[in-house]
Amino acid sequence: MRMQTRILALAAIAALAPAALAQGFVPTRPVEVVVHTGPGGGNDVLARAIAVIAEKEHLLPVRMQVVNRPGGNGNLSMAYVAEKRGDPNTIGLFTANMLTVYLVSPEAKVTVRDLTPIARLVLEPAVIAVKADAPYKTLADFIEAAKKNPGQLKQSGGSITSRDNVVRQLLQKATGTRWAYISFPGGGERIAALLGGHVDLMVIEPEEAGEHIRAGSMRVLAQVSEHRLPGYPNVPTLKEAGFDVPAVPQIRGVVAPPGIPKENIAYWEDFFRRLTLTVSWKKYLQDNQFEDGYQNSAELAKFFDSFTGQLRDILKEAGVKTVR
Amino acid sequence: MEVLTSLAHGFAVALEPGNLLWCFVGVFLGTIVGVLPGLGPPATIAMLLPLTFHMNPAGAIIMLAGIYYGAKYGGSTTSILLNVPGESASVVTCIDGYQMARNGRAGAALGIAAIASFVAGTVGVVGLMLIAPPVARFALSFSSPEYFALMSLGLALVVLLAGRSLVKALLAALVGLWISSIGTDLFSATSRFVFGTMDLLSGIDFIVVAIGLFAIGEVLANMETREEAQMIAVPKGLRNLLPTWQDLKDCRFAFLNGSIVGFFVGVLPGGGSTIASFLSYGLEKAVSRRREQFGKGVVEGVAAPEGANNSETGGALVPLLTLGIPGSGTTAILLAALVLWGFKPGPLFIPENPDLFWGLVASMYIGNVMLLVLNLPLVPLFAQVLRLPPYVMYPIILGVSVVGVYSESGSLFGLALLAGFGLLGYLMRKIDYPSAPLILGLALGGGMERALRQSLMMSEGNLSILVSRPISAAILSLAGLVLLIPLFNKVNAWRLQALEQE
């Protein structure tokens, strides 16, 4: 935990640093952006979008180079960033999953919290969808049905530590119901299971669901979001639908290796703040129906702490063995 | 009629000089990517993605798709010549392809691979063009129990991949199944067999094992016999480097089998070209009259899997374009590309973007012809590689293997695994264990376990879900039949023996 305080302290200084300080460092060789997925994964696409926007808006004097470090459920990429201690030309992207993996895998030796928080960028909301010909018109209908047939209804989703399951756990706890959760490794398989009528419900990204709704094959019951999304003006949020559970977003952001000088933190913080203000970035968020989740280094450090605590409770509740 | 007008319109799009050029760039890059082990289409497409923002979308999708199906052509090259599978879909091609090369028929093997790819690739596009929507709806009726049945059918093929001893083959398959269980369990997030290392948390990559067992194992085994390490004969004359009419005739069924199996497995979101290639190889062997010669270098053993993995691309585009559902790594990145260009992939994609869809379909016909023209002349050239003396050849194989695995895993740990599996391959050769069943077990194990557990979650632990659904029941019965094949062989042998004695 000492590392934690040190990062917090560093981050606090960086947050207070005047803009002039940021001038102290400018990258001179191509910047490595480390992602934990193979090409085409969520963070890989995000990294490449950032690289394109940075180039288009002339935000960076050097090129950004995406480095794929898949494996170890995200741990290998974090270990790679950690090994680059003090290197100002390397940054990495994280997702909330990396916080979860650390909680459940005893083998995970490096955590996002050992790295230097730079910025939180994106919050990805979700919607709760059923097949269009399902009898449930509202989330309350579904919950009612789940109450009548405990354990009979099914939800398709990702691994047990994914956001899909976290949302289910929260809903089950709030309503005293339970239904089955079936993990599929690929997003395509999850949708196919719903459209084929093999499962009853899924938590899906708004953009993905949009086309199936327009084609009349899917219906959205509620949105996992604090505010109604522009693409879903007539669908209630979880709170509006009468379920007082936190709207858990998928979170993506930036970290840097541990032990980098404070002017480097300030440089990257400033870079990403300017990036999030560009028109191209706003369009990127809008096209994907993401929410702007910008937080600076100090805020992100605090967020890591509170979110990890929240996740630990949820996972324990779900019967997942936590090791930390 | 409507199809023909649309197709004509599609050709008008695909034949625009710009799009024609992008089609060529795509299939050319695809061929190169396919030949190089390790660097696969998903990585290439992801790297090129930023460049496509400045292109018109039709040209861009034509190029990216060209990389996708073009890579399937090149994938067989290193399998046949070096016993190094270029990608997971070409692992099966090693079995007979490399043996053909050792028999001096490398040219024929490479040629038939290109022809099978062309035929099946084209059939795949025809399927995509004519029956995409109904087939996509059919694919949705497949869920976990059906996938489990399909994987069981694949695993049953182990009895066909066995060499002299069925017991040894089954043991090897079990080791493969065990390796597939290493890593983090999807359902409980528990680590299994990771021995406290982070490197094993996401499991062992199939291609590392395949390259280790096949290529490194082969090199090690051959080094022993170095005093008599004679070089593989490469026949002189262009005519002897290409497949003969007899080869083509032998492959008639393989072309059909590869085309159909590949397309239908491709359509299933949980399928994939690896399973398609194994299934069509197994099917080919099951119905063949010269079953005992499989594994010793028969031309159908190359044509069926190579056909299947090409026709699979046409199939895999069906759920992507008609439903917006990606079934594999490559189609997932194509989906991301479509979204980034501002399209909305989903059920309405084709009706709302007819230019793009029909242009793509037409470009795939053109691209397949380009690939045939590009690949056939390369055959004699590639076949010359085998003229190299062993002291040049083996280091090349080792080098290609190491580069391939490193570019895939990006870690030294991957290379350590490669060395480990190379030694295992050598050991298995020494004690006469077949390596193909191990690979088969590994390729199917993960998906099979997942499908079984998903099925049981759906049925609340009731095993009858596997046989109460018609498709699943039918496939499982087929798997049962396959398991009986060795028994038929035995009965047949007894019958022949009895006849002789009379």
- In B, minimum Cα distance to A110 occurs at B198
- In A, minimum Cα distance to B320 occurs at A188
- In B, minimum Cα distance to A54 occurs at B50
Strands A291-295 and A116-124: antiparallel
Quote the distance between the C-alpha of residue A39 and its chain's center. 17
Q: Are B14 and B366 in contact (CB under 8 A)?
A: yes
User: Residue A113 — pLDDT band, cuts 50, 70, 90?
Assistant: confident
Facing residue for B329 by CB, picked from A38, A192, A212: A38
In a domain, A229, yes or no: no
Whether B199 contacts chain A with CB within 8 A: yes
Q: Is the pLDDT of residue A305 over 80?
A: yes
Whether A187 contacts chain B with CB within 8 A: yes
Based on the fold, state whether residues A115 and A12 are members of the same structural domain. Answer: yes
For residue A2, the model assigns a pLDDT of 41
Whether B51 contacts chain A with CB within 8 A: no
Based on the fold, state whether residues A56 and A161 are members of the same structural domain. Answer: no
Interface mutation target, options B51, B53, B140, B415, chain A, most CBs of A under 10 Å? B140
Q: Which of residues 406-425 of B touch A (CB under 8 A)?
A: 409-411
For residue A5, the model assigns a pLDDT of 41
- Looking at residue A144, the DSSP 8-state letter turns out to be H
Distance from CA of A323 to the nearest CA of B (A): 11
Q: Are B80 and B270 in contact (CB under 8 A)?
A: no
Whether B326 contacts chain A with CB within 8 A: yes
CB contact under 8 A, A72 and B198: yes
Whether B143 contacts chain A with CB within 8 A: yes
Chains A & B: contacts with CB separation below 8 Å: 172
Whether A48 contacts chain B with CB within 8 A: yes
Q: Is the pLDDT of residue A314 over 90?
A: no
Q: Which two tokens stand for residue A174?
A: 């709030």
Q: Which of residues 27-46 of B touch A (CB under 8 A)?
A: 42-43, 45-46
| Residue-by-residue DSSP string for B408-454 | HH-SHHHHHHHHHHHHHHHHHHHTT--SHHHHHHHHHHHHHHHHHHH
In a domain, A237, yes or no: no
Q: Which of residues 148-167 of A touch B (CB under 8 A)?
A: 151-152, 154, 159-161
CB contact under 8 A, A40 and B336: yes
Facing residue for A76 by CB, picked from B47, B199, B319: B199
- The separation between the first and the last C-alpha atoms of chain B, rounded to the nearest angstrom, is 63
Which chain A residues contact residue B198 at CB under 8 A? Answer: 72, 75-76, 79, 107-109
Based on the fold, state whether residues A97 and A84 are members of the same structural domain. Answer: yes
A15 Cβ contact partners less than 8 Å away, ≥ 6 residues apart: A269, A296, A297, A298
Closest by alpha carbon to B245, among B111, B129, B118? Answer: B111
In a domain, A238, yes or no: no
Q: Are A81 and A111 in contact (CB under 8 A)?
A: no
Based on the fold, state whether residues A175 and A255 are members of the same structural domain. Answer: no
Burial of B313 (0-12, 13-18, 19+ CB in 10 A): buried
Based on the fold, state whether residues A86 and A13 are members of the same structural domain. Answer: yes
Q: Are B97 and B116 in contact (CB under 8 A)?
A: no
Interface mutation target, options A45, A213, A316, chain B, most CBs of B under 10 Å? A45
Distance from CA of B9 to the nearest CA of A (A): 25
CB contact under 8 A, A180 and B199: no
- Residues A247-276 have a mean pLDDT of 93
Domain boundaries, chain B: 2-501
CB contact under 8 A, B458 and A180: yes
The alpha carbon dihedral of A96, B328, B179, B151 has a sign of: positive
Distance from CA of A16 to the nearest CA of B (A): 36
Query: Phi/psi of residue A118, each to 5°?
Result: -115, -60
For residue A21, the model assigns a pLDDT of 44
Q: Which of residues 88-147 of A touch B (CB under 8 A)?
A: 104-109
**Residue carrying the six token digits 């779900």:** A318
CB contact under 8 A, B186 and A160: yes
CB contact under 8 A, A49 and B53: no
Distance in angstroms (rounded) separating the CA atoms of residues A209 and A170: 22
Based on the fold, state whether residues A49 and A70 are members of the same structural domain. Answer: yes
CB contact under 8 A, A199 and B460: no
In a domain, A263, yes or no: yes
User: Residue A92 — pLDDT band, cuts 50, 70, 90?
Assistant: very high
Distance in angstroms (rounded) separating the CA atoms of residues A61 and A64: 10
Q: Which two tokens stand for residue A304?
A: 């890591």
Based on the fold, state whether residues A42 and A181 are members of the same structural domain. Answer: no
The pLDDT tens digits for A6-64 are 444 444 444 444 444 445 788 988 899 999 877 667 888 889 889 989 988 899 998 88
CB contact under 8 A, A40 and B339: no
For residue B226, the model assigns a pLDDT of 60
CATH number of domain containing A97:
3.40.190.150
The alpha carbon dihedral of A265, A269, A275, A276 has a sign of: positive
- Residues A188-207 have a mean pLDDT of 91
Which chain B residues contact residue A288 at CB under 8 A? Answer: 339
Query: Phi/psi of residue B333, each to 5°?
Result: -75, -30
In a domain, A291, yes or no: yes
ipTM passes above 0.85: no
What is the domain extent for residue A189?
Answer: 126-224
CB contact under 8 A, A105 and B189: yes
In a domain, A306, yes or no: yes
In a domain, A244, yes or no: no
CATH number of domain containing A196:
3.40.190.10
Interface mutation target, options B454, B466, B471, B472, chain A, most CBs of A under 10 Å? B454
Q: How confident is chain B (502 residues) per 10-residue block, as mean pLDDT? A: 87 93 95 82 80 87 94 89 86 92 89 94 94 88 92 87 84 95 83 85 87 91 67 64 88 94 90 88 88 89 94 93 84 83 86 92 96 88 82 88 84 92 94 91 90 91 92 93 80 77 68
Put residue A73 in one of left, alpha, beta given phi > 0 → left and psi -120 to 50 → alpha: left
For residue A312, the model assigns a pLDDT of 87
**Angle value at C-alpha B248, between B243 and B250, nearest 5 degrees:** 120
Which chain A residues contact residue B189 at CB under 8 A? Answer: 104-105, 159-161, 320
Which chain A residues contact residue B327 at CB under 8 A? Answer: 186, 188-189
Whether B457 contacts chain A with CB within 8 A: yes
Based on the fold, state whether residues A48 and A68 are members of the same structural domain. Answer: yes
- In B, minimum Cα distance to A111 occurs at B198
CB contact under 8 A, B454 and A38: no
Facing residue for B319 by CB, picked from A188, A199, A288: A188
Based on the fold, state whether residues A218 and A190 are members of the same structural domain. Answer: yes
CB contact under 8 A, A180 and B196: no
Which chain A residues contact residue B454 at CB under 8 A? Answer: 182-184
Whether B390 contacts chain A with CB within 8 A: no
Q: Is the pTM of this model over 0.95?
A: no
Q: Tell me what percent of the residues of chain A surpass a pLDDT of 90.
A: 47
In a domain, A96, yes or no: yes
Based on the fold, state whether residues A259 and A295 are members of the same structural domain. Answer: yes
CB contact under 8 A, B189 and A104: yes
Distance in angstroms (rounded) separating the CA atoms of residues B191 and B186: 9
For residue A104, the model assigns a pLDDT of 82
Interface mutation target, options A198, A217, A314, A324, chain B, most CBs of B under 10 Å? A198
**Residue carrying the six token digits 């065990």:** B178
Strands (DSSP E) contained in A80-153 are 90-95, 116-124, 126-131
Number of structural domains (chain A) is 2
More reliable by pLDDT, B488 or A271: A271
For residue A16, the model assigns a pLDDT of 42
Closest by alpha carbon to B480, among B156, B208, B195? Answer: B156
CB contact under 8 A, B46 and A154: no
